[in-house]
Amino acid sequence: MNVMNTHDAIVVGSGPNGLAAAITLQQAGVKVLLLEGKKTIGGGLRTAELTLPGYLHDICSAIHPMAVASPFMSQLPLHEYGLEFIEPEVEAAHPFDDGTAAVLKRSISATARLLGKDEQAYVKFIQPITEMWPDIAPDILGPFHFPKHPLAMAKFGLKGLTSANYLSREFQTAKAKGLWAGMAAHSIQPLTGATTSAIGLVLMAAGHLKGWPVPKGGSASIANALAAYFVSLGGTIETNSYVRSIDQLPAAKAVLFDVTPKQLLAIAGNRFNATYTKQLQRYRYGMGVFKIDWALQEPIPFTASECRQAGTVHIGNTIEEIVESERLSSAGVHPEKPFVLLAQPSVFDATRAPAGKHTAWAYCHVPHGSTVDMTSAIENQVERFAPGFKDLVLARHTFNTQQLEAYNPNYIGGDINGGVIDLRQLYTRPAMRWSPYTTPAKGIYICSSSTPPGGGVHGMCGYHAARKALQDIFAIDLKID
């Protein structure tokens, strides 16, 4: 470490949660040092030429509904620091074998009209959630506590705590069921599990309220804007500072770690008591992902026109196929027809590729720690709904789960959510404590996606951890509006 001991707090890790924690502390007048192990900041918010020169690929996250829906990030003046979001004409599309597609649009009525017999069912399904969202968002995107709007939260919970497979009974058509399954599959769990509906509901509501945008220039634009804002407040960032032990750190009143339980145990050494240590050792990580980035000669030629207008495409056909794919992956089996999440940002952002060329990004869920090459399985799924796709590939780059973890140590076994977000770990992540962000060691906090509300580019884990540190260590109590 080259920075002199002039800081009150240290944040380790510059992913969206580390940046959010650093900003929240600095906004409150605490002098913060942000340490990043790599040469660039960002965590899951990085963009690079993975395939060919001039082709910019988002290494991890690509589409950002939660960034624009986040109560924390949405109130920051990030546009003043170069961040520009682009909203696709169609937020997300879901193709079927018959050449049609279901879509998620900003308008609830426009989405519902394309669902035939389920038009009214869809409106009844999602409109109450969008109307309640301003009231329930702070409760959903934070630690467990008595909600400010208990009736609204109870209504959300009646749907959100159920399994996505069960909740699909509210629809009659294959289109509506398939669209719903694709949304819920972002939970990275078998869709027969409790709480998988919550993820789908939040993403659908966010799409209708704020959209599913892409950041111009790539996801690194979000990290760069957050970092620039943090520095403008007086914060300090030091890169190439990989922390392997807490003993490496200069003295500070509070240290916040944007890492998962496995790394926290290794870094902290013997500073935690036996009970907390055992809880962290028992923390459960979930399925991993296999990811591909493509440099393309032309846009992906989806049969359904709606898919060609979408920033995100969920490739899985019927709910039955998606449920089976997620069940197999969770059980340690590599499905022949995996559910594929695909993004095509260059269709809307010309900065991502040379003139006339394109990039695309996709991943599927695989067993934890898998090293199986899923390239053919993923490309077969894309070709299934976009004949001629394979002929357009100029170059590709792949990550298996172990390569993802090597790139970003927070992705244990390829788990991009920082641990399973099921009923057992929804609000007790990473351990059963009054505050999930605290540890038994005074001044040491965890602020990663392994704390509530979990994965996603929203910064809320870091925000809440910083609020707790401010309250405990600096006697500053930030009230939530």
Q: How many alpha carbons lie under 13 Å from residue 453 in its C-beta half-sphere?
A: 23
What pLDDT band is residue 481 in, cutting at 50, 70 and 90? low
Q: Within a 10 A sphere around the Cβ of 480, how many other Cβ atoms?
A: 11
3-class state of residue 379 by DSSP: helix
**Structural domain total, the chain:** 2
In a domain, 66, yes or no: no
Is 57 within the bounds of a domain? no
Residue 188 lies in a domain: yes
Same domain? For 120 and 233 the reply is no
Indicate if 394 and 272 belong to the same structural domain. no
Domain assignment present for residue 174? The answer is: yes
Pair 402, 426 in one domain = no
| 254 and 318 within one domain | no
Q: 162 and 310: one domain?
A: yes
High-pLDDT (> 90) share of the chain, %: 94
DSSP state of 118: G
241-256 residue pLDDT tens: 999 999 999 999 999 9
Higher pLDDT, 480 or 367: 367
Does residue 480 sit within a domain?
no
226 domain residue, yes or no: yes
| Last residue in a domain, options 365, 386, 407 | 407
Domain CATH number, residue 464? 3.50.50.60
Q: 364: which strand partners?
A: 290, 340
Instruction: Confirm if 44 and 67 have CB atoms less than 8 A apart.
Output: no
Query: Residue 98, Cβ neighbours under 10 Å: how many?
Result: 11
Same domain, yes or no, for 167 and 291?
yes
* pTM, full prediction: 0.96
Query: For strand 254-257 and strand 444-446, is the pairing parallel, antiparallel, or unpaired?
Result: parallel
Count of residues making up the chain: 481
Q: What is the pLDDT of residues 390-425, one digit of tens each?
A: 999 999 999 999 999 999 999 999 999 999 999 888
Q: From 407, 428, 460, give the residue that closes a domain.
A: 407
Residues 79, 91, single domain; the answer is no
- Kindly report, residue by residue over 208-245, the tens digit of the pLDDT: 999 999 999 999 999 999 999 999 999 999 999 999 99
User: Which domain covers residue 269, as residue numbers?
Assistant: 9-48+71-83+215-283+417-473
Does some domain include residue 412? no
Rounded-to-integer distance, Cα 316 and Cα 248, Å: 47
Instruction: Decide: helix, strand or coil at residue 412.
Output: helix
Report the distance separating Cα 462 and Cα 190, nearest Å.
28
Q: Work out whether the CA dihedral 343, 347, 352, 353 comes out positive or negative.
A: positive
Give the contacts of 369 (CB within 8 A, at least 6 positions apart). Answer: 288, 401, 402, 413, 414
Angle, to 10 degrees, between the axis of helix 274-281 and the axis of helix 261-268? 140
Same domain, 204 and 107: yes
H/E/C letters for each residue in 72-96?
A: CHHHCCHHHHCCCEECCCEEEEEEC
Residue 336 and residue 454 in one domain: no
Give dist(CA 321, CA 364) in Å, integer.
13
Report the CATH number that the domain containing residue 178 is assigned in CATH.
3.90.660
**Tokens 């939660």 -> residue:** 66
Which three-class secondary structure state does DSSP give residue 455? coil
Co-location of 361 and 431 in the same domain: no
Judgement on whether residues 320 and 366 belong to the same structural domain of the protein: yes
Structure tokens belonging to residue 200: 């789908």
Give the position of tokens 């069912």: 121
Kind of pairing between the strands at 32-35 and 57-58: unpaired
Domain boundary among 387, 407, 427: 407
pLDDT of residue 203: 97
Q: Using 50, 70 and 90 to split pLDDT, how confident is the model at 3?
A: very low
Q: Specify whether 368 is located in the same domain as 394.
A: yes
